Structures are given as C-alpha cells and as structure tokens.
A and B are shown apart, each in its own frame.
Chain A
C-alpha cells in the first residue's frame, strides 16, 4: 500500500548520438512536493515527456503506484492518473476556455463517448468545469476562444486542463513561465490548494517559487541527476552551485527562504 507514487529507474533517451537523458533515477513518495531544476537544455522537459509517454525511452523503467507503465500508452497513463502540463501551451485554440476544460472533464469521466444528448445538458460536468474556471479566475473569459485571450491567461487554462483530469501524479512543466507577475500568486495558490494525496513534480526556474513549494528536489544537468534530496542539502552542495546556480542563484534561493 505504501509503495511510492512514481519510480523512474535508469531512464535513458538519445537523439541520434546525443544523450538527452542519462540514467535518470527518481522516486516520488505519495503526496510529494518535488521540484526539478536545472539549467536550460538540461533535459527537464524531455524527462517529463518520457514519464508521460509522449516520448519513447531508449531504456529504463517507469512505475506508477507499483505498476510498471513503461510500455503503457500515453493516453492510458492519463487514465491511471499520470497527468502533465506543457511548458509551451498546447491547447485547443479555436474552442472557448470553457470548452477546453470541458473536453478534459468529459474525457476523464467517459462522457466524451456520449453521442446522444447535447453538450449543454451535461450538468454535473458543467458544474465541475465552472468550479475549475472559478478557482483559476477564468470565469470572465469562459466564452472566449482560447486563442484570443492573453498568453498568461492561457497558461492558466493549461493548468486547468490538467486539474480537470483528476490527477494522482501531476507533472508541471514551468507553469509560471509567461504568466504576468500579478497572476502568479493565483497560480501558486491553485497549486497550494491541491490535495495532499496528489503527488506533484514541479519544474521551475524561479527559486522563490521552488523554495516555497518544494519539500524535496532534484537537480538535473546535461541529462544527469547531480543532486537529489532536501532543498537545503541540495542547494548547499558545491557541485550544484558550480554547475547550475552560480553565486547569484544561491542568493536568490536564500532570499526566497526569507520570504517563505
């Protein structure tokens, strides 16, 4: 019963001769609040792609709640509660904000198979969609095509779709990237409010957000894990400081701690 939510073992991915993911091990206990950081091009997004099944790994295994999902399709992984968001929005541009979230709710509950009955008649799902829109402050934009709202607000839709899928393990790829700073608290608040039963992996460059969020963290550089553990220990590591942060980064981290 207490097996970890997600276990990644010796995961490797090469593009041609170029190793983007090298022997990555990662273990997230249930309810983890785990940050994944690393310089640009470290392979963070690729790792999320591998775990979600959008990219096929060359070798290694992935377990979700003790079940090997290495060969399970991306769609089936979602059905088992493994949900991701995208660093660059991947939405349904001509559909409205409401419809974007509705699609996810409808898919998660099997309603998308329904050929009879109007969309407007699906009361329980409409209620859930409205609750998510409300939580993310998107209600005012509900009827607008997603392509016509500001990019930062589209980021919230991206998160909304993931939440609508009722995740058990949530992989967030830089959710705050591109969100105007005034709306970042809304997003952080939405993530904070997620239940303790949900396991979260967060990729984030902003050290203040990381500091507030993370109970454990992993640092990735050139496709390899160079440190993993409690934030204080990881951030104190000389290797991390030299490879990734530099002095200024560490200062930002410390100041984030002071704010938290």
Chain B
C-alpha cells in the first residue's frame, strides 16, 4: 500500500474520490431539479465561492479577518462600473473585478498582516466599515443607496446570452467556482500551502527558520482577495445589480459563520457551509420572515456542540465510523 498523501501535507487528502465526484454532481442535479430557482441557486454558488476564499486564509494561514466583504464589494463595483462604462465582455470583466480586489489586498496586506488576533480583527472590521461608508458617500460613482442597476454583459463566448431564467449565469458561475476550487486545492497541497500551515501553527518559529512570514501571508491574502473579488463580480453579473450590501459588515461576518458551519481546515468547509447557510436561511425565512436568525442560530449551536469541525467534521466522523477504521486525529 502506498503512503497516504496526507502524510506529506494534510491538504493533499482532498482528491477526486467518490465523495468528491458526488459533491460536484449536486450543482448539476440542482440545475435540472430546480429550473425555476436558478437565480437563487446562482446566489448559493456565489456565497460558497466567497466562503471558500475566506477559508483559504482562515483555515490554512490562520488569518482571522472581519473585513473580507471589502474584496467582494470592490469586485462587484468594478465589474458593474465597467459595464456602465460600456465594457461588457463578461469573462474579462469578471477577471478585472477579481484583479482590482487583489491589488487592494496587495497594498493593504503588508501593513495589515503584521497584526494577528484581536488587533487584526479590529483593523479589518474598521477597514470594511470605511469602504462601506466611502461607497455610501461617493454616490456619483456607486449610486449610493440606490446602487447600480441594469448592468448588461455580452453573451459568454459570444454565444450564451444572459437569459432571464438564469441558465447562463448559473453555469458561468459554476465554471468559475470549479476552476477557482481547483486552483485553491492545488495551492494548499503545495509546499507553499504547507508553509502557510506552519505560519498558522507558530509564526515566530517560522520567522526563525528564515521564512518571509509577512511575504507568505500577503501572497495568500492577495489570492484570497482575488477569489472574493471574482465572487463579487459574479454577483453583479448574475443579478445585473450592485447595492451597498456587497460591502456590508454583515457579509463579512456571515462568511465566518458559513465557515464554522461547514468546517474549518478543509477547502470544502466554505463550499458546504456557504451553500448550507444560504439554503437554510431561505427555508427559514420562508417559514418565518422575522425569526430566520433563530433557525440558523439553533443549527449552528447543534453543529458546534456535535462536533469536531462543522458539517465536514461530522461527515468525516460518520464515514470513518462506517468504514470502521480508527483514524489519527486530524489537525
């Protein structure tokens, strides 16, 4: 028997196993099962992508931020403004939204990432609030509280039109999600990914083995911001609208809740948690528009109490129970 790849880097455990193939069949199945809810389903995918971007820095590098919506929002506004300025080629417009967020991360990262823990949380929270207020005040640019509406984009590859039923938006978003997932998965399995885990575990010692700790962190922060910016850009394209909520502190905090729900330490944590959170919230607010927070809260409490590590942790435990093997405690 060959050595388990997780021996070298726990993040290499993610491979295309049966479970993984089943997982990716879910969004395909959703397309056929809920043809009239595709815009909602697209929203689910976008939030899953956003939560995955936060999971990359939180789970693997230990960066706890309360301001990740800044990147989501910037990506959304840039893509929206491009459209209004007449630039409507969808793929490059999405990409530029992500790139703008990455540039912001590259600029603020070297200052921010010298901080850790509570100070870092406070500064990112403040930065997020500043971005929100700035967007609010710059009404001539962002539309203020009215937002930017009626955004249009050319057909994808010049073929697939952005239809009112949202088929194009759905598959377009799914494609981005899958590509960025593959990128993230190979990133965390690389020696660089392991170095990030070292920083998460003991930044002082990483410094004393000669590692450029801040440099490593800035790089992964920039990549994460890029992905968050893409998620924002996709939301602008899928809904044809951008409002101030894309920069809200709520969004930053919700992403953290999604991660806890899904599970920290695994790239699927954000995907599962993000999707679950949005679906649950939708069901709960259908049931009772005023008390949906209660349902989410109760679910969160149950998951945290049950478990090891979110829904992923519970599933891992079940599968190891079923296969009857006792495995080493994972990080």
**Interface residues in chain A, defined as those with a beta carbon under 8 Å from any beta carbon in chain B:** 52, 54, 74-76, 78-79, 84, 86, 90-96, 98-99, 102-104, 106-108, 111-120, 122, 125-126, 142-145, 148, 161, 165
Contacts and interface: CB of A to CB of B under 8 A. Distances in A.
A203 to B, nearest CB: 16
A54 B208 contact: yes
Q: What 8 A-B pairs come out closest when comparing CB atoms?
A: A78-B210, A119-B9, A94-B331, A92-B201, A120-B8, A112-B195, A119-B8, A103-B198
Given A103-B206, A112-B211, A119-B12, A95 B190 contact: no
B328 A119 contact: no
B200 to A, nearest CB: 8
Given A95-B201, A145-B328, A78 B209 contact: yes
B189 A95 contact: no
Contacts, number: 125
A122 B204 CA distance: 25
A122 B191 contact: yes
B208 A115 contact: no
A104 B209 contact: yes
A78 B195 contact: no
Contacts of A91: 201-202, 205
B201 A113 contact: no
B191 A108 contact: no
Given A90-B204, A145-B329, A102 B212 contact: no
B210 A108 contact: yes
Given A52-B208, A75-B207, A75-B210, A92 B197 contact: yes
Contacts of A93: 201-202
B216 A112 contact: yes
B210 A90 contact: no
Given A99-B197, A112-B191, A118-B190, 12 more contacts: A54-B204, A75-B211, A76-B210, A78-B210, A90-B202, A96-B7, A102-B191, A107-B210, A111-B191, A114-B190, A120-B5, A120-B7
B212 A75 contact: yes
* Most chain A CB inside 10 Å of its own CB: which residue of B3, B9, B10, B213: B9
A54 B331 CA distance: 28
B186 interface: yes
B7 A117 contact: no
Nearest to B198: A103
B287 interface: no
Nearest to B210: A78
A107 B216 CA distance: 11
Contact of B205 (A92, A112, A122): A92
A96 B201 CA distance: 12
Nearest to A111: B191
A101 B191 CA distance: 12
Contacts of B213: 75
Interface string B210-223: 11110010000000
B55 interface: no
A28 B66 CA distance: 49
B192 interface: yes
Contact of B201 (A86, A94, A98): A94
A95 to B, nearest CB: 6
A12 to B, nearest CB: 22
Contacts of A148: 329
Contact of A118 (B189, B201, B329): B189
Contacts of B192: 112-115
Nearest to B220: A115
B187 interface: yes
Contact of B193 (A52, A92, A119, A125): A119
24 contacts: A52-B208, A54-B204, A74-B207, A75-B208, A86-B205, A90-B204, A92-B198, A95-B10, A95-B194, A95-B201, A98-B7, A98-B8, A102-B191, A106-B195, A108-B210, A111-B191, A114-B190, A114-B191, A117-B190, A118-B12, A119-B189, A120-B9, A142-B7, A143-B7
B202 A107 contact: no
Contacts of A122: 191
A63 to B, nearest CB: 19
A79 B5 CA distance: 29
A248 B190 CA distance: 54
A74 B208 contact: yes
A119 B206 CA distance: 18
B194 A143 contact: no
A93 B194 CA distance: 13
